[in-house]
Amino acid sequence: MTRFLVLYYHFLPFTLVLGADLKETPILGSQNIPRLLTEEITDGFKYQVQQNHSVFFKDEDSEDLYVGGSDFVYKFDMDHLQLIENITLNPTGQDHQCIQESCQNVVTVIEKFNDNLLVCAANGLKPQCWDLSPSGPIPRKESGISPFIYSQNSLTLVADGDLYAAAPLGDDGGFLQFRRIAGNRTNVWMHDSWVSDPTFISASLVKRTNDPDNEKMYIFFRERNSDHNPEADPWISRIARVCKVDEGGSKRFFQNKWTSFLKARLVCGFPEESLYFNRLQDIYVLHAENWHETRVYALFTSSWNSTAVCIYSMEMIENVFENSSFRGYEKDVPQPRPGTVRICFYFGVT
Ligand SMILES: *[C@@H]1O[C@H](CO)[C@@H](O)[C@H](O)[C@H]1NC(C)=O
Ligand SMILES: *[C@@H]1O[C@H](CO)[C@@H](O)[C@H](O)[C@H]1NC(C)=O
Ligand SMILES: *[C@@H]1O[C@H](CO)[C@@H](O)[C@H](O)[C@H]1NC(C)=O
Ligand SMILES: *[C@@H]1O[C@H](CO)[C@@H](O)[C@H](O)[C@H]1NC(C)=O
Ligand SMILES: *[C@@H]1O[C@H](CO)[C@@H](O)[C@H](O)[C@H]1NC(C)=O
């Protein structure tokens, strides 16, 4: 593995211009008007080889920006707009079934975890993670963090010293679910039956300053609709919730499984007209000092190719999780209420 330091003097006015400069305001249902424009970049950084996939990680505590591509991680200094490090990450264990691009070590994950930089890559259909230490990349043993091919669905979240990920365990994209993979708490995962053909969009820990043990993780995804009515959209969008301190059940019951998993439908549309945007595409969580005021901005598309943004407050979301009836339990909600930590049942909230 080679590793060296170079200084580059051209780079990076990544200026993003918001909609204010647009001649036409985006309207509900428009398809051709961009929401976000980039200013013309006069002197950017050019990849030496065209990259079909890049991942970015900006360290919150410094001006370091990491960019991962095929077989490399670049580190840029955002203060001086310079490339300061070029880390080569060659594939270590290509699967014999890989062909061309899939044989490369396409970086899919860059996160800060336990004071190290965690980098994962598809590694020629044999996903692998490394800790990037000053003396070089140190391989890690976990699986289920990087997908096998960069285009497969996956997400990662580092929260409160633990690493969470949703990535397939099969090279066909199968066994995709949300798990706690590493950290100080027990590893836990889901029952496959809890979700149906999911696409994970985002996951977020919502902090509660005065009540950290009661903090929850929210997972946003879309999945196959169990309503097979021909009128129904085949896809439905979801928000799921697990407790941060959930370490799974006892040896005999729900060992290494989430015991606090609940999911609810994420509804966006015009109920009076039965017009719904069912296909979640992106999520931004705007955290507030008081968690009740934390807001979730969700971008949806519809079966007729229109888009919409719906905004939810954490207060609304928690009210649904805490106070709704459960599917299949019209009147008598079991006590203690499911979704409370260490209560080992799974229910879909209607
Ligand atoms: C990007 O995709 C093209 C077409 O599939 C392929 O020829 C090329 O090698 C890919 N580039 C990289 C860096 O993987
Ligand atoms: C990074 O290092 C690799 C391997 O030494 C080299 O081929 C590549 O040109 C370098 N990239 C840049 C931007 O210097
Ligand atoms: C996790 O455990 C390690 C070693 O036991 C400890 O140093 C670290 O502070 C712990 N992290 C958290 C967030 O509790
Ligand atoms: C929506 O867009 C897709 C892809 O562009 C296209 O195949 C499909 O026909 C469109 N559907 C409608 C209802 O316009
Ligand atoms: C549940 O409903 C009760 C009564 O309406 C309300 O006081 C409480 O705040 C609700 N819980 C949440 C988490 O919103």
Q: Which two tokens mark 188?
A: 């836990």
Residue with the nearest Cα to atom 12 of ligand 5?
A: 319
**DSSP character for 102?**
G
Please provide residue 55's backbone torsions phi and psi, each rounded to the nearest 5 degrees: -120, 150
**pLDDT band of 122, cuts 50, 70, 90:** very high
Distance from C-alpha of 56 to C-alpha of 112, rounded to nearest angstrom: 12
Ligand nearest to the CA of 8: 2
Q: CB neighbours (10 Å) of residue 162?
A: 20
**Is the shortest distance between the CB of 304 and ligand 4 below 6 Å?**
yes
What ligand has the least distance to the C-alpha of 106?
1
Check whether 17 has a pLDDT greater than 60: no
In this structure, the residue with its CA closest to atom 8 of ligand 5 is 319
Domain definitions of the chain by residue range: 1-29+151-350, 54-144
CB-based contact 82:7 (threshold 8 Å): yes
The C-alpha atoms of residue 119 and residue 132 are separated, in whole angstroms, by 7
286 or 45, which is more confident? 286
Q: What is the pLDDT of residues 164-214, one digit of tens each?
A: 999 999 989 899 999 999 999 999 999 888 999 999 999 999 999 999 999
Determine the topology of domain 1-29+151-350 in CATH: Methylamine Dehydrogenase; Chain H (2.130.10)
Binding pocket residue ranges, ligand 2, CB within 6 Å: 2, 6, 48, 72, 86, 88
Cβ proximity of 181 and 142 under 8 Å: yes
pLDDT digits (tens, 9 = 90+) for 246-280: 999 888 888 999 999 999 999 998 888 888 899 99
Residue nearest to atom 11 of ligand 2 (CA): 86
**Pick from 43, 132, 139: nearest CA to 85:** 132
Sequence letter at residue 16: L
Which pairing describes strands 347-348 and 72-77: parallel, antiparallel, or unpaired? unpaired
CB of 52 shorter than 6 A to ligand 1: yes
Query: Do residues 66 and 73 lie in contact, with contact meaning Cβ atoms separated by under 8 Å?
Result: yes
Average pLDDT in the 71-98 region?
89
Mean pLDDT of the chain: 82
Q: What is the value of pTM for the model shown?
A: 0.84
The owner of tokens 């994209």 is: 173
- Taking the C-alpha atoms of residue 168 and residue 128, their distance in angstroms, rounded to an integer, is 13
Phi, psi torsion values for 194, nearest 5 degrees: -75, -25
Q: What share of the chain is helix, strand, coil (3-state, %, to 5)?
A: 10, 40, 55
